[in-house]
């Protein structure tokens, strides 16, 4: 299992479009990938579960990946949660 804390840095947080990008990437991996925000957990492969977490700029989440490709899954999803999105 790989786990770590991540600070959301995107100006508008992780709203619908970033959530869709995270889920699209996460489904490429066999590992279970979860995002925990204040005790509420969401499957990173499910767009709606990420949206419901209401991840705003400056908030800290715990990302966990567990399975055969856990390190690659963790790294890929971490990069997207920390990314600066340029959506208008």
pLDDT tens-digit map of 24-61: 999 999 999 999 999 999 999 999 999 999 999 999 99
* Inside any domain, residue 51: yes
* Inside any domain, residue 87: no
pTM of the model: 0.93
Judge whether 4 and 63 are in contact, CB under 8 Å: yes
Question: What are the residue numbers of the active site?
Answer: 15
* Inside any domain, residue 62: yes
Judge whether 58 and 85 are in contact, CB under 8 Å: no
How many independent structural domains does the chain possess?
Answer: 1
Length of the chain measured in residues: 88
Give pLDDT, residue 61.
98
Return the closest-CA partner of residue 57 out of 16, 9, 4, 21.
9
* Inside any domain, residue 61: yes
Q: At 86, is the pLDDT very low, low, confident or very high (cuts 50, 70, 90)?
A: confident
- Which two structure tokens, joined as six digits, stand for 18? 């970033």
- Which two structure tokens, joined as six digits, stand for 79? 């990069």
The answer to whether residue 87 scores a pLDDT higher than 80 is no
**Domain span including residue 26:** 2-82
The CATH number of whichever domain residue 19 belongs to comes to: 3.30.1340.10
- Which two structure tokens, joined as six digits, stand for 42? 């969401």
* Inside any domain, residue 88: no
């Amino acid at each position: 299992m790989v786990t770590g804390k991540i600070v959301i840095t995107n100006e508008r947080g992780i709203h619908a479009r970033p959530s869709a990008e995270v889920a699209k990437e996460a489904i490429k991996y066999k590992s279970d990938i979860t995002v925990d925000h204040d005790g509420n957990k969401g499957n990173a492969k499910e767009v709606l579960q990420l949206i419901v977490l209401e991840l705003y700029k400056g908030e800290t989440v715990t990302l966990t990946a567990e399975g055969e490709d856990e390190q690659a899954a963790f790294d890929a999803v971490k990069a997207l949660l920390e990314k600066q999105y340029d959506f208008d």
